[in-house]
Amino acid sequence: MEFTEVIKGRRSIRKYADKPVTKEDIEKIIELTRFAPTWKNSQTARFHVILNQELKNRIAEEGTCSFSKNKLNIQSASGLIILTTVDGIAGYEKDGTFTTSKGTHWQSFDAGIACQTFCLTAYDRGISTLIMGIYDEAKIRNILNLPENESISALIAVGYAEEAPNAPQRKEVSEIMEII
């Protein structure tokens, strides 16, 4: 797919076809995603992949706070990625102090780059995604027994789109850019 089409054509998809995404599909997406830049090349993003429908639907039921839309989004999806990042590395010196005044900010920054790289790669291969920031971290951690040194950065629904929403309006360049 042409680069501009990948950037402009990717949409958040909330209705998915009843067609499975496979372990091999996800592996191929992550194979490219791992080239995303990271703080001092620390590569702290981890992808916990749920393709088991029973487990995915349990996360939908129990791990979405009271935000019922995400419950439906996850139920509709073929799979769900729990994107985590290893704590205490991005933004830190080896002695455990922060490198910058922005503290832990860089951990989320790296997670965001990894997340978008994953979503764009998936879209390029015909697989749609939805990034979700509303979830119950403690419940999901408990259900999946996630490593204690990882924090959940986002949930990503994956699947084959069964809707083609219009792009939500973007700000004009003049609104977000200034020449100083």
Ligand X SMILES: Cc1cc2nc3c(=O)[nH]c(=O)nc-3n(C[C@H](O)[C@H](O)[C@H](O)COP(=O)(O)O)c2cc1C
Measuring CA to CA, which residue among 106, 102, 64, 104 is closest to residue 82?
64
Task: State in angstroms the smallest separation of the CB of 99 from ligand X.
Answer: 24
Phi, psi of 45, rounded to the nearest 5 degrees: -70, 140
In whole angstroms, give the CA distance from residue 25 to residue 20: 10
- 150 by DSSP, 3-state: which? strand
- 152 by DSSP, 3-state: which? strand
Closest residue to ligand X using C-beta atoms:
133
The one-letter amino acid code at 101 reads S
Q: Please identify, using beta-carbon distances, which residue of 27 and 61 lies nearer to ligand X.
A: 61
Task: State in angstroms the smallest separation of the CB of 150 from ligand X.
Answer: 18
In whole angstroms, give the CA distance from residue 112 to residue 45: 10
Task: State in angstroms the smallest separation of the CB of 167 from ligand X.
Answer: 6
Residues that bind ligand X (CB under 6 A): 11-12, 14, 69-70, 73, 130-134, 167-168
Q: Please identify, using beta-carbon distances, which residue of 26 and 161 lies nearer to ligand X.
A: 161
Q: Please identify, using beta-carbon distances, which residue of 1 and 167 lies nearer to ligand X.
A: 167
What strands lie across the sheet with 128-132, from one edge to the other?
45-50, 79-86, 150-159, 128-132
Task: State in angstroms the smallest separation of the CB of 126 from ligand X.
Answer: 16
Task: State in angstroms the smallest separation of the CB of 79 from ligand X.
Answer: 16
In whole angstroms, give the CA distance from residue 105 to residue 100: 9
Q: Please identify, using beta-carbon distances, which residue of 30 and 77 lies nearer to ligand X.
A: 77
Q: Please identify, using beta-carbon distances, which residue of 29 and 132 lies nearer to ligand X.
A: 132
